[in-house]
Amino acid sequence: MIAARLMLFACVIFWGWSFVATKIALDYVTPVEVMALRYLFGLPVLFLILLSKKIKLKFEKRDYKGIALGAIIITVHFLIQITGINYTTATNTGWIISVTPLVMAVMAFFILKEKIGIKQIAGIVIATIGIILMVSKGDLTDLNWLGSVGDWLVLASAHTWAFYTIATRDVSRRGSPLLVSIAVLTPSAIVIFIYVLFTSDMSKFLLLPLEPLLALMFLGVFALGLAHWFWQEGIAALGAAGAGFFLYLEPLATTALAVPYLGENFGFYAAIGGALVLAGVFVAEKRGRTA
């Protein structure tokens, strides 16, 4: 159990820091190129883990539709999120993304007809107030905050991740979630590679400075490859509820690195908004843990 907890802790740290790494990389390459290089470094790691665990590359015919849909959605998800990070701070990204469990609850209610309780509704309201405070910086009278493209794109990516989770839910339940991740990411990577091959100047990748190169390697090897593995191992050992608790640390990890390393501001209203976001998620998920 200690090993599983350490893996989950490392996983959410990697995911939290990935927003900082993406911000660094975007100073040198485009969002699509970030995706391509992340796949380049990360997919081989996932394949090696799959081989080491001796998981067979096999699916049922009924799984193909879910995998194809998942591949389309995950491609859109990464593009939206990376583009959003380009127009907002890594800190805001980390806190806004933490509403994903609430978005998933709403999507499950409308798409899967799953029940949604009073506590979940209360959590959604609390978290929404937190996001508005964070994005508006406490000044609700100035409606310019409604034009914060980056923040809204990041929030949209929470919805695309919810759609992805729902689209691949049944496939993951029937087989290995790690295998499903590889099956979904591989066609996405192929499409992105082909696009970059015909639209980008390949020579610039050979001339990347050390900082963005390390950031891209981190995004691939740690935030994509190892993090997916650690997350699946953590869920297997502690269950979804036990693993989900660690996600509260993700925005804290982002802030802890983004503020000193990128010099981002984390003011009073951002702190209050972030606290409300986490409080909303906690209130909503408390029902699931106590039921």
Counting residues of the chain whose pLDDT is more than 90, the rounded percentage is 46
> Domain spans of the chain?
2-290
How deeply is 57 buried, as exposed, middle or buried, from its count of CB atoms within 10 A (0-12, 13-18, 19+)?
A: exposed
The pLDDT value recorded for residue 235 is: 79
The pLDDT value recorded for residue 23 is: 97
The pLDDT value recorded for residue 142 is: 64
CA 220/CA 238 separation, integer angstroms: 25
The pLDDT value recorded for residue 290 is: 41
CA 228 to chain centre: 11
CA 99/CA 279 separation, integer angstroms: 10
CA 22/CA 224 separation, integer angstroms: 12
What's the distance, Cα to Cα, between the start and end of the chain in Å? 23
What residues in the chain have per-residue pLDDT under 70? 140-147, 240-242, 244, 285-291
User: Mind listing the pLDDT tens digit for each residue in 184-198?
Assistant: 999 999 999 999 999
The pLDDT value recorded for residue 44 is: 96
The pLDDT value recorded for residue 18 is: 96
The pLDDT value recorded for residue 86 is: 94
